[in-house]
A and B are shown apart, each in its own frame.
Chain A
Amino acid sequence: MPDTILQISDLDAFYGDFQALYGVELDVKPGEILAIIGANGAGKTTLMRSITGLLDNGANQIKYRGKDISSLRADEVAMRGLAMVPEGRQLFPSLSVRENLMIGAQVGRSGPWDLDAVYRLFPILKDRKDQGATSLSGGQQQMVAIGRALMANPDLILFDEISLGLAPIIIKDIYKALPDIIGEGMSAMIVEQDITKALSVSSRVYCLQEGRVSLESASDTVSREDISRAYFGIE
């Protein structure tokens, strides 16, 4: 097992002619929870899309478990054990709650997470399992999205802005459940605008600012001033 589960080297990302990421360097150690913070438009979601293969990457920019995955298709990346809880939930409207969870298991990886395990974690989903997924409340949809990612039994799970659009109490509940979710052996990247929450669950934090890494630090030792500077790009 290499000493990083994810290694990002000199990553650029483009939307057409527009460059969104500039030479990003980042790594995730096995078993750790990494936080990615930054303002809107800083490139956090672009980073997630690059990692999962939804955006094109140059060679050797992204290594997963030591192997170059930069040019793989998104479905191939998913097969390797990378799952994402996408920004805005993005459940499938034509599928029921249960079907959304089932399709998460499409990659066919074995592990502790199956339908029963997800229902134990989020009992309300069992009550609503045959409902159309998008008819649920925001918080419940977030549970489905998380469950859907877990069903893939990933080694690395990405959470993209899971607190967006949710009531504070729901956010609190979800973050309280995170340690149960990110169990033994799983690594996680948490993209967050809520800095406090992000720091509270992570061991290390990166800050992105206008497409560049502006800060890397241990979560428990980083100061407010460092974060403000890195977040807003003020020197």
Chain B
Amino acid sequence: MSIQDYSVTRSSRAAQVSAVLGALVLITLIAAPWWAGRADMRLMGELFLYLALASLWNLMAGYAGLVSVGQQAFVGFGGYMLFALTMLGGLHPVAAIASAGVLGALISVPVAVLIFRLRGAYFAIGTWVIAEVFRLGFAQISALGGGSGSSLPVAIVKSLASKRAMRESLSYWLALGAAVLVVTAVYLFLRSRKGLALTAIRDNELAAGSLGIDIWRTKFTVYVVTSALTSMIGALIFLQKLRISPDAAFSVNDWTAFVIFIVVIGGIGTIEGPIIGTLVFFALRETLADLGTTYLIVLGVVAIVMMLKAPKGIWGLIRSRFDLQLFPLGYRVIAPKQEKGV
């Protein structure tokens, strides 16, 4: 047996199977307006948006090592941009959503320049301060409702589509599209050279730096891109809610605590993790939400226990047990005449 007999591949049987299954699931989901009820579609739409938020937070924290407890800054920013651009700027809602992303990218640049001066947990709290600044700032803008917020005018809502059923389908498809876009973008990014650099930084920053990887620039890029997409998701979220206020837009609980729990429970630093985490989170929510504060305490306890006992999350447990990778990222060496790689 010579070295030529060995081959290197990214894919695996499991990845191929799940790709096919994933495509089937996607087709089913696209067809949801025809088989799902209104409430179910709303729930699924919310799930997709949380999945997108979780995947983005995971990219920043799990891969770039930038743990933010302030992403609500961009969720709220995107929401307010939707309202501002449609109500005051006369833009069509879909155009406003896209623009919210661009504006999110722009504003994240000076923010990043400031808070990148902090490291580790201090960086995290710094992101929270930024979110508070945004919240207090937007509460001062009376044109957007000031401290009590505002509702999206009927005319703008109708500009999406005149019939309510059509609007709901459109909202749903936008949410599904956003989730697919984000997960695909994250996957493709991690497959690319930049993504490899990011994984290197995550594994050993010092070593990565000595190999010539520009750490600051890579992290900066990830922060800007994540914030832009988070802003877009924020715009979508508040398009669904039809009403915005500073406290709702910049809520730590809704946009950071829940997202963090999703990622921690699902599995940080993996693409599959946020997907699993979102499903588990919504399952828990549907069964426990009546308990109010107890539900949140349970979430907190579960997150702590997971972090201490299973820091790689549910997907991490599955992966270490079965050596699975559904989104082919790592390389495997296939020995000749063998099914599984080394």
Query: Is there a contact between chains A and B in the complex with CB atoms less than 8 Å apart?
Result: no
Binding site for A on B (CB under 8 A): none
Binding site for B on A (CB under 8 A): none
